Structure 1
């Protein structure tokens, strides 16, 4: 972690044994202190040392550097968190937040204000939450920014989306082969719903874009593919993409009704959030459209039970659901022989696991099993659906997690962090 504090303001004191590497640099009597960690943020803090502190565009340069280095580090999110000791900067790598730097309070406030400027937000309103996207003038890829008022000032969260060049193919996702093959077959269908579920940050969006890419590669210009998103995260050539604007009355329901009159073959709905959207998406599939969409649920059976709880008619669900895929991302262990950094080698020698990159673990459920189909028609709850899944021998996330641990891909600790259970225990939905 790097600590950047203008010594004209209150200094942030560090415990030397915890932060041994201190580099001091100054410009025109302005001194900055850097504490650099080999583990994260090193290139950002090193580049910070070269920025001209007295320059009029110092803060814009810091923001540009922040976005550039976060992208280079493969961070999915950046947090600027105000506190009594200044503005802490963290970024999320492989699903885990890591501290990078601490700015003095005044600089931190100016950084948030700069982010609001390049997003077209109201800089003078610091008392209410705001959200926007970084202008294309400053970034070629999608970046969303949200601000939130706190006790010590505005907190900013930055979400960085992949560019179109980073789009993955279906066979690059790392899905279990059986799920990949089933999905590829289902994407050739002319109707039905393919539901991708999981919590935020589980890779649903990456998977749904890979599915769109698969459809386009298989059909070329032979199928009209349209999307309705909130927001558009990646531009996909060959598709017609649209973004809802609730402030203008263009919400998901309005968009779906109009989109249906555009003669689409394939419809991608960014996310099902309410009963009305669920009903509209599933009804669209019954009229000869293949619908891809995402849904927040912890498992496949939980997704089905929640749709029933949203008063989706069982016969509609039974008739239109092609499959539910629930996925998570777990960090992968690096083989000790592949480690390059001395700090990583030392950690491995001390018995600690070193992670790099993530791997998807996933489960798939279809209603082709008669017992499951009958359970849906009875509006069975999550517990009953899970019991049937188990009795039918269908692989669950727990089973896939067990395999990943036994193969040395990840650890029990990582599975517990991501799934909230150890591989040897039963998930709540299946007790």
Structure 2
């Protein structure tokens, strides 16, 4: 006898689950916890199989019968409804992965596992957040160059031309990741190479005259701000790391007895470990600094929290307090000052100068032979 809604509602749970049939293979399975589940029993290729249709009352009697009839029609055509349902589930899962947002997050996970520096990760996350705002919910395979260009134009309209160009490059990496995963067909950013305003290259301001550099060092010696900031400025000029490498430095990286600072590969721009010889003045500064921050993880902790590193604006702000504007000198400019003056002196091997600032030879053949650290020569550099 066919079931009715009233009959289904009267079904009580038992110690063991049991079945109550409707007709044409449809039945409701009553479980000990009181839940009721529609199932359809059918035979295909000589085998008896079950198809779960849905819970009652979320799936009504009328809906269950309609779904049963659709499944019976599939069986009549030689299609296994259970396999068809699983295939649809897989397609739905795949469809969920097809969006730009999901591919962007998977790409970020991949490069984080490759050991990218935390600063690099934050920049990429910031860039991709802008792209996800416009493209995130769209299937990656359906996104064409005009849609990407509209996203880039929004950034460009704010006058941030370099950011727009970096965003184009970053979006392209996500598309190429999608192509490699089989979820995208091409990289539309390739067609946009010449579509954006090309910003004029502007080197970071740096002092390159010996007398002027001497004035800067005297100004730093007389800095009346935070002592930690004063020491950081002098270390920056003496050791010429990238500002971020100094701000992120940990005490565990310093061997004061051997006068060496060993920067791990994951914190270097080129992902190669870098050793820095520590001259006498740097060792004296580090000993003074250790009395101030030696109890913390970071060499230069934040004033807000010792668990965080010094802010990226601190060093440039200190230079402004000393009277040097952004057109005269920047924290990063210490590297250019050192490179320019060291090369012009003619006293040092150019390769030793490049190693001192952790530059990597662009020429593959030359790089294969220029593997030395030029350590002895770098130890003699002032």
TM-score by length of 1: 0.26
Query: Counting helix residues as a fraction of each chain, which structure ranks higher?
Result: 2
Query: Counting strand residues as a fraction of each chain, which structure ranks higher?
Result: 1
